Chain A
Amino acid sequence: MRAFSYHRAATPAAAIAAAGSTTAYVAGGTTLIDLVKLDVLRPARLIDVNGAGSAAITARADGGLRVGALVRNSDLARHPLVREKYPVLAEAILSGASPQLRNMATTGGNLMQRTRCTYYRDGISPCNKREPGSGCAAWEGIHRSHAVLGGSEACIATHPSDMCVALAALAATISLQGRAGRRTLPFDAFHLLPGATPEKEHALLPGELITAVTLPAPAKGERSWYLKLRDRESYEFALASAAVVLRLQGRRIASCRIALGGVGTKPWRAHEAEAVLTGAVPAEALFRHAAEAALQSARPRPGNAFKVELARRVLVRVLALLVEGQPSVRQI
């Protein structure tokens, strides 16, 4: 790795004060250190925020849950309130990465996870995300794991996080602290579409620090689930995944929120599918109709066209499972 200087911040304010155009925050380090070793990211200074923020999971008076940015992924997935009230989140976290990585990675860091696109990571291929204007090697290259939703000719890199897909479906809120003070963002506004500027991945202002993620109170009778399809049964990124939060009332689906993973350039909230399902009577044909609506805007490349149908099917599967009952979170 190139040499850099290191500063440990004692508070969020101190971290923000130390931040500049050539600095990077480090918490778990599982993405940052990996990419600095590959020379893809080249911060001149690392600001260690492990002591600068909250690692607490706090129940809110309104029934929601506030998750400090420094809560480790494994702790979040194992918290009794998370497993009970937000099984989609626990299951999503536990289906991602490895136990060691989950012990290191933080909530805030997971939001900042970078794409696994091999061209981005090789440090040398044309990559508009890494070097704006250099081109996109994946477009005509090997793009089997790339996105079918939200891409552009400038970039089709998939967002790799499982946790983020669950948070999108939960309509979480992200708390930020920066030079101008504190603010919150709805989850869906945090990650940006690549468009013509794939190097801009997040709606963060310079120096801004993630301080917490807040989950809304689950509705009474709400169920949720996450299913991840991939080449191997463990320790592999999603080819297609679906997170569904569903509430039935009588015979009908009273409400639902859906997000797709492995197929989008950002965690993909499937509003079109939600519109089809809300108020409708659950049935296989309905699920299929919703899945088609979700993937209607898909623009695959030749090498990843299989993902379109795969994503439809994983969504149908999760809907069918949830209508039967609430599956149990894996215990690993």
Chain B
Amino acid sequence: MSPALSPRPPASVIGRRVNRVEGRAKVTGQGRYAADHHPAGLAYALGVGSPIAAGKLLALHTAAAERAPGVIAVLHRGNFPKLTPSPNNFSDGTKVGEVRLPFADDTIFYAGQWIAVVVAESFAQARAAARLIRADYREDPPELSLGTAQWPERSQLSADAPDLTRGDPDRAWREAPVKVEATYTTPVEVHNVLELHAATAAWDQGKLTVEDSTQWVVGARKALAKILDTPARDITIRAPFVGGGFGGKLFVWATPSSPRRRPGNWAGRSSWSWSASRPLRSSATGRPPASASKWARGPTAPWSCSGTTA
């Protein structure tokens, strides 16, 4: 039920030129974006990405990085706390950008995939230490084309069951005298927003507050609640200023979720800051994937579509 509309619009706003309400904050640099926070005891997390696009991480050498000045910890598969994969359900608000959790296995799925995270007192120290990490890989030929990808069943559009069914599309298609079937593709789009993906997370007596660069605060909260196995009521996601999203910041991505884990006994820090570097951002975080969809239409049949993305 929509609320009754007021018979007269407020005269103070309609028809007048009004500057953006957040304008002063933006032109004075006072608007706080996700990485613009410095809670007490803040540490900096910098991801180290795989240079290969497919294969296996065989060995990781982190001793030199761990000894580097200012380094608090180097996280990797061997010491990363176990997280819970999100149910990845849009209607529950737990849809995530990447279902696989960071460091879940030794398989390399894409170039830029995190193989380690350096946590240090400053960004400069984290970066200097990251350069000291060595890794051995088995490199496999990467899958570069949608043409060799698997097509799902014709009627399967997503993991969610449809909310509404009407008619019998399969029969209409079978009986259509004229059929038009074509495949349409779209390439990967990288948003290249000015504000890199970033998050500053702080734990305080069991409650987590995340200053996040997200287009979906509710989804981030619900997904993180599942991933971190923490009640949603104990998680606050704040995004008062977001420096562009364009669809690339809709869902929580595996890389941003890792620094949010409650620190265990290897680090006494309760607050973390993370932001992507430009090359890492385009591979490891949000972007519409390349897609290919087959559309089929008969003269009386409704559209049916099956698609795959990569």
Q: Which residues of A contact B (CB under 8 A)?
A: 1-3, 37, 39, 124
Contacts and interface: CB of A to CB of B under 8 A. Distances in A.
A106 B285 CA distance: 37
B131 A2 contact: yes
Nearest to B128: A3
B65 to A, nearest CB: 11
B69 A3 contact: yes
Given A1-B124, A3-B69, A39 B131 contact: yes
Interface in B93-149: 124, 127-128, 131-132
A1 B131 CA distance: 7
Summarize B's interface: helix, strand, loop or mixed.
Answer: loop
Contacts of B128: 1-3
13 contacts: A1-B124, A1-B127, A1-B128, A1-B131, A2-B128, A2-B131, A2-B132, A3-B68, A3-B69, A3-B128, A37-B127, A39-B131, A124-B51
Contacts of B127: 1, 37
- Size class of the B contact interface (CB-based, 8 Å): under 10
B110 to A, nearest CB: 15
A211 to B, nearest CB: 32
Contacts of A124: 51
Interface string B230-268: 000000000000000000000000000000000000000
A124 B131 CA distance: 13
Interface of B: 51, 68-69, 124, 127-128, 131-132
Contacts, number: 13
A124 B128 CA distance: 18
Given A1-B127, A1-B128, 11 more contacts: A1-B124, A1-B131, A2-B128, A2-B131, A2-B132, A3-B68, A3-B69, A3-B128, A37-B127, A39-B131, A124-B51
A15 B14 CA distance: 66
Nearest to B132: A2
A1 B132 CA distance: 10
A2 B68 CA distance: 10
A266 B180 CA distance: 56
Contacts of A1: 124, 127-128, 131
Contacts of A2: 128, 131-132
A39 B124 CA distance: 13
Contacts of A39: 131
A39 B68 CA distance: 17
A37 B51 CA distance: 16
Contacts of B69: 3
B300 to A, nearest CB: 48
B70 to A, nearest CB: 10
Nearest to B131: A2
Contacts of A37: 127
Nearest to A37: B127
Contacts of B51: 124
B115 to A, nearest CB: 14
B60 to A, nearest CB: 17
A1 B127 CA distance: 6
